[in-house]
Amino acid sequence: MEKTPPHSQKLRALFGELVSLYILKGSHLSLLNRLLLPATGKDASGELERISRQITETESGESRRLNLAKNLTEGIKSDIIVLTNTTAAVGGLGAEAVGTEFLVLALMLNLQSRPLKIPRKVKKDKATRSDGEMEVVETYQNYVAKLHIQANRRPQKRLFLDINAVQEEIDALLVMGNCQWVVVNNFMRLIWPWSFHVPEPTRMDLHLIEDRYARSHMNKRASVDSDLLTLREKTTALKENVKQTVEVLEENHGKAIRVFTIVTLFFLPLSFISSFMGMNTMDIRDMEHNQTIYWTAAVPVTRARNFRLDSLEDEIAEMHRQSLRANLELTTGRHLTPEVVGLVEIAYFNRIPALCYSLFGNPGF
């Protein structure tokens, strides 16, 4: 059983719209006649206001019916063109007269939707498009998928740089898409026929074609922007996932380093002590003398070190300081303060003759 051709259905709908349009036009004329008649009665002003409101509603209905009838007419013309294959979609076919404005609009939209040209080696596994061509969104989808694989296999901090770079490029594409929206909208406002003082019927018909063509392309642009926003959200989620994974790995590494440090602090001194004590030295019990000589030497040295060595060192240092001061005063012929003597003593012990020479010329030591 053959299907009903789509243009016959549209013809019936067009006939209904034309009948409705004539009915509305008759109502419009009737209301205009009533408005011109002299008003009588107490509520004359209210009756005039009601008639004016009905006239406005009728004009709005006429405009909607007229636009719908024009759209049905365009659809019927497309159906008749492809009458041999009525089951196919006819949205891409049409025969219309266009002007210079449509050509400029087509050039603008084609430049905006032109695909990327990429090398053959990047596109070796693609067979759905012509060789060397890829959409912008498809390019970034492949790259984001690659980042997902890298994040799952080896999560590293340097992935943050790649993710941030992708996010910046996606933001730039969204800004560029917004600029394209603005350019197309400004151009459509510029060629809008009702912006002129007296609209031309021919220009109004041409504008319908231009508006339909612009809307179809801008719908594709909206789809691209939606895909880019989805990619932006995916990269944000991927960045957070990589951050959490890196933090977990670093926490595990920190635990291992902490355990190694604790083991080192305990066992390194023990290893040193065991190695030192295990050296091949002669035991005191294997010597010719007995243990008495050890205590005879150890007790006096220990007492001297603990009780007298510090004071003995201070006395020796003070004696040396006084001798050095006397020698310097005889050499230079002037009185020296303890601070200067201390500075000279430091220079003397550290072998800094240049400092001594700068202080005293040639003191003779």
Per-residue pLDDT, averaged over 163-185, amounts to: 88
Q: What is the CA radius of gyration of the chain?
A: 50
Is the distance from CB of 20 to CB of 3 less than 8 angstroms? no
Rounded-to-integer distance, Cα 146 and Cα 348, Å? 70
Q: Give the contacts of 229 (CB within 8 A, at least 6 positions apart).
A: 174
Q: How confident is the model at residue 224 (pLDDT cuts 50, 70, 90)?
A: confident
Which pair of tokens denotes residue 315? Answer: 């006395």
Whether the Cβ atoms of residue 140 and residue 174 lie closer than 8 Å to each other:
no
pLDDT on residue 133 = 61
Stretch 219-233: mean pLDDT, rounded? Answer: 87
Q: Give the span between the Cα atoms of 249 and 155, in whole angstroms.
A: 9
The answer to whether the CB of 214 falls within 8 A of the CB of 105 is yes
Q: Give the separation between CA 147 and CA 239, rounded to whole angstroms.
A: 10
Structure confidence at residue 357 (pLDDT): 46
Coil, strand, or helix at residue 33? helix
Chain mean pLDDT for the chain: 74
Q: What is the DSSP letter of 32?
A: H
As a whole number, mean pLDDT of residues 109-122 equals 67
Confidence of residue 121 (pLDDT cuts 50, 70, 90): low
Alpha carbon distance 131, 122 (integer Å): 10
Q: Is the pLDDT of residue 261 over 70?
A: yes
| Predicted local confidence at residue 259, as pLDDT | 80
Q: How far apart are CA 155 and CA 276, in angstroms?
A: 46
Q: Answer whether 79's CB lies under 8 Å from 13's CB.
A: no
Q: What pTM was computed for the model?
A: 0.44
DSSP E strands in the chain: the ranges are 116-117, 133-134
Q: Where are the domains of the chain?
A: 6-36+50-80, 100-116+133-239
Residue 96's pLDDT is what? 62
Percent of the chain residues past pLDDT 90, beyond the cut: 0
The whole-number pLDDT of residue 281 equals 61
Confidence of residue 109 (pLDDT cuts 50, 70, 90): confident
What is the mean predicted confidence (pLDDT) over 11-26? 83
pLDDT by residue (tens digit) across 154-171? 878 888 888 888 889 889
Please, how many CA atoms are within 13 Å of residue 22, restricted to the half-sphere of its CB? Answer: 5
Residue 65 has pLDDT above 80, yes or no: yes
Which pLDDT score is estimated for 1? 42
The pLDDT-based confidence of 293 (bands split at 50, 70, 90) is confident
Give the pLDDT confidence of 87-103 residue by residue, as tens digits.
545 455 555 667 788 88
Q: Which long-range contacts (CB under 8 A, 24 or more apart) does 260-265 make?
A: none
Q: What is the mean pLDDT of residues 347-351?
A: 51
pLDDT in tens, 188-212: 888 887 777 777 777 777 878 888 8
**DSSP state letters, 314-325:** HHHHHHHHHHHH
Cα–Cα nearest to 112, from 213, 206, 34, 9? 213
